[in-house]
């Protein structure tokens, strides 16, 4: 049936939704939740059907949400055709996994294909996520899932003997080590095409912070050009079709804070294989109140990462680090970008913990890639930083990604602020990542680039009575008021 498009002017945040009139639905025998293919001359997508009365969408019209409009590249009153889609075969595989039975590589291939082509609703995908959480995948299944994720996306093909990558399993506020490690390693002659994420629960992801300095959304072709000319990049992975099933799975996992071990491993390793990585360093921060809460779990994950890396032909090293407190002074895009620039420029205001951790991680990669002898990597990384070579390489990347030479002094904080002070004198013995992240996000980070938290003191330092421990920044006074309500309930630090 041919329909005329109505732009609903609403975004779903991911799911592809189309709405038709009740009369048309009855004529076509369509029901809530049915899948239809929507076709134009050049594009086809599968969407989930909603049904409306004549006031919202008239007969002969099809209401499309923003995600569908964009994928089909259509406007209001454009003509599209539809056809009913059958239930995807992968639903049987999800049920099989819920029953505790192992899935074959062919079944996982089909399941991931259905995820990428949007044949599964979020509810159906949530059952798959829950099944993998409750019925752990075997090593064979995890490898098969990883390969399926790789094969359903694009591959960045680079003719380089060594292509290095780095990943952190997350959960630590601040922690912008990637923006230090990449320029250091690229300055040493290592190719490093870094795709990074935007924030889901933190005040900023690496892509949010890099975006303060340069563009981060590129096509795969443009990303390749930047890497070939400069040696590396720091871009947003969501703009590139690398292991695209991962993005849908993460969106479903987030509301329930489910982080299935097999999907965590497959997600990370698929992304790395998709950029043709030959060498990979994984940072696993341990935080008793965070994502990886015990050292034992971190050690187990380390073993799995190295096993999968070996089977994919990626030389993998894993470090287990302290993730119990923020890294750096700033929490929020502009504040974190300023920290990075200060360290790269050798400014004394640069946070020492960010500098030290970044040099440690960069040093390991330099040794893995043969750019430094064993035990000498951190010293080589420090030399590249202190000589200014790493900073100059960062400036090259910023320019290649459409940015201008940054001035950290002009990275202004937001207009409104709130100082959070110690109630009495003592040593700062605890900083809570999740509480501080929540306060920074309520203040507006990362959408408000200037919002966030500036830490005046680091863990273990002495704090005087009524001395500010951190300052909250926001460009919205009402948001700052909400943040203040959280602070009154829990400040996120302990002084003893």
pLDDT for 270 equals: 95
Q: What is the pLDDT of residue 74?
A: 96
Radius of gyration (Cα) for the chain, nearest Å? Answer: 24
Residue 33 has pLDDT above 90, yes or no: no
pLDDT above 90 (res 316): yes
* In contact, 98 and 127? CB cutoff 8 Å: yes
* pLDDT at residue 491 is higher than 90: yes
Q: What is the pLDDT of residue 450?
A: 96
Label residue 123 by pLDDT band (50, 70, 90): confident
- Please identify which of the residues 246, 259, 353, 485 carries the catalytic annotation: 259
Query: Comparing 120-134, 177-191, 302-316, 427-441, which segment has the lowest mean pLDDT?
Result: 120-134
CA-CA-CA-CA dihedral for 128, 245, 323, 318, to nearest 10: 110
Q: According to the model, what pLDDT value does residue 218 have?
A: 96
- Cβ-Cβ contacts under 8 Å for 219 (sequence gap 6 or more): 239, 240
Distance in angstroms (rounded) separating the CA atoms of residues 427 and 459: 8
Task: Say if strands 44-52 and 35-39 run parallel, antiparallel, or are unpaired.
Answer: antiparallel
pLDDT at 240 over 80: yes
Query: In this predicted structure, what is the pLDDT of residue 227?
Result: 98
| CA distance linking residue 205 with residue 353, whole number of Å | 18
Burial label, 144 (beta-carbon count in 10 A; 0-12, 13-18, 19+) = buried
The token pair at 117 is: 């082509």
Does position 399 have pLDDT exceeding 90, yes or no? yes
Residue 280's pLDDT is what? 98
Compute the average pLDDT of residues 7-21: 90
Over residues 197-225, the mean pLDDT reads 94
Residue 40 has pLDDT above 80, yes or no: yes
pLDDT surpassing 80 at residue 279: yes
Confidence (pTM): 0.90
Instruction: Find the mean pLDDT for residues 153-160.
Output: 93
Average pLDDT rounded to a whole number, residues 391-400: 98
Residue 159 pLDDT class (50, 70, 90 cuts): confident
β-strand partners of 322: 286
Q: Could you tell me the pLDDT band of residue 221, with boundaries at 50, 70 and 90?
A: very high
Does residue 257 surpass a pLDDT of 80?
no
Domain annotation for the chain: domains and CATH numbers: 2-84 (2.40.40.20), 90-135 (no CATH), 164-241+266-400 (3.40.1030.10), 412-495 (3.90.1170.30)
What's the rounded Cα separation, in Å, for the pair 274 and 47?
A: 27
Cα gap 76→53, rounded to integer Å: 19
- Measuring CA to CA, how many Å separate 284 from each of 88, 172, 296, 303? 37, 10, 12, 12
What integer pLDDT is reported at residue 347 of this predicted model? 97
Instruction: Find the range with the poorest average confidence among 59-63, 247-251, 252-256, 361-365.
Output: 252-256
Q: How far apart are CA 487 and CA 493, in angstroms?
A: 10
pLDDT at site 251? 79
Q: Is residue 255 scored above 80 in pLDDT? A: no
Among 98, 133, 136, 93, residue whose Cα is nearest residue 115:
93
Q: What is the pLDDT of residue 171?
A: 86
The answer on pLDDT for 55 being more than 90 is no
* Alpha helices by DSSP H, 1-104: 22-28, 66-72, 90-98
Range list of β-strands (E), 279-314: 279-286
Catalytic residue flag (residue 259): yes
Closest CA to 128 of 245, 48, 272, 292: 245
What pLDDT, on the 0 to 100 scale, is given for residue 177?
Answer: 97
d(CA 261, CA 254): 14
**Region 365-386 average pLDDT:** 98
The whole-angstrom separation of Cα 34 and Cα 193 is 40
pLDDT in tens, 429-454: 999 999 999 999 999 999 999 999 99
Sheet holding 330-331, edge to edge: 330-331, 452-455, 468-474, 416-421
Averaged over 324-343, what is the pLDDT? 96
Q: Alpha-carbon distance 81 to 255, whole Å?
A: 34
């Amino acid at each position: 049936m041919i329909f005329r498009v109505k732009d609903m002017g609403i975004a779903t945040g991911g799911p592809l939704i189309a709405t038709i009139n009740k009369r048309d639905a009855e004529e076509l025998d369509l029901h809530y939740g049915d899948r239809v293919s929507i076709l134009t001359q050049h594009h086809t997508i599968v969407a989930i059907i909603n049904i409306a009365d004549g006031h919202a969408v008239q007969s002969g019209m099809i209401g499309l949400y923003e995600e569908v409009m964009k994928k089909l590249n259509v406007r209001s009153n454009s003509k599209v055709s539809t056809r009913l889609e059958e239930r995807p075969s992968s639903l049987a595989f999800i049920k099989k996994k819920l029953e505790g039975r192992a899935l074959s590589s062919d079944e996982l291939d089909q399941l991931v294909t259905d995820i990428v082509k949007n044949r599964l609703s979020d509810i159906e995908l949530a059952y798959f996520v829950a099944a993998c959480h409750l019925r752990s995948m075997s090593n064979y299944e995890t490898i098969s899932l990883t390969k399926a994720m790789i094969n359903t996306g694009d591959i960045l093909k680079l003719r380089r003997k060594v292509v290095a990558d780095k990943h952190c399993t997350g959960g630590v506020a601040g922690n912008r080590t990637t923006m230090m490690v990449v320029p250091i390693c690229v300055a040493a002659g290592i190719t490093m095409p870094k795709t990074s994420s935007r924030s889901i629960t933190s005040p900023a992801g690496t892509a949010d912070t890099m975006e303060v300095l340069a563009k981060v959304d590129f096509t795969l072709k443009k990303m390749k050009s930047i890497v070939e000319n400069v040696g590396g990049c720091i871009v947003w992975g969501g703009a590139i079709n690398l292991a695209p099933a991962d993005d849908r799975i993460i969106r479903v996992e987030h509301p329930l804070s489910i982080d299935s071990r097999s999907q965590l491993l497959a997600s990370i390793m698929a992304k790395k294989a998709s950029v043709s990585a030959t060498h990979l360093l994984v940072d696993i921060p341990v935080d008793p109140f965070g994502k990886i809460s015990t050292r034992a779990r971190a050690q187990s994950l380390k073993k799995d990462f190295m096993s999968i890396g070996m089977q994919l032909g990626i030389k993998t090293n894993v470090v287990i680090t302290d993730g119990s407190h923020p890294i750096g002074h700033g929490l929020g895009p502009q504040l974190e970008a300023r920290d990075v620039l200060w360290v790269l420029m050798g400014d004394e205001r640069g946070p020492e913990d960010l500098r030290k951790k970044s040099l440690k991680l960069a040093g390991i990669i330099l040794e893995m890639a043969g750019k430094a002898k064993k035990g000498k990597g951190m010293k080589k990384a420090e030399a590249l930083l202190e000589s200014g070579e790493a900073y100059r390489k960062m400036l090259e990347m910023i320019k290649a990604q459409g940015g201008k030479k940054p001035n950290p002094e002009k990275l202004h904080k937001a207009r409104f602020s709130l100082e959070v002070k110690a109630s009495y004198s003592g040593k700062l013995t605890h900083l809570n990542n999740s509480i501080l992240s929540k306060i920074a996000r309520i203040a507006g980070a990362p959408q408000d680039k200037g919002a966030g938290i500036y830490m005046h003191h680091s863990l273990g330092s002495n704090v005087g009575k009524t001395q500010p421990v951190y300052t909250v920044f926001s460009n919205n006074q009402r948001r700052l008021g909400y943040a203040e309500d959280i602070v009154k309930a829990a400040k996120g630090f302990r002084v003893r």
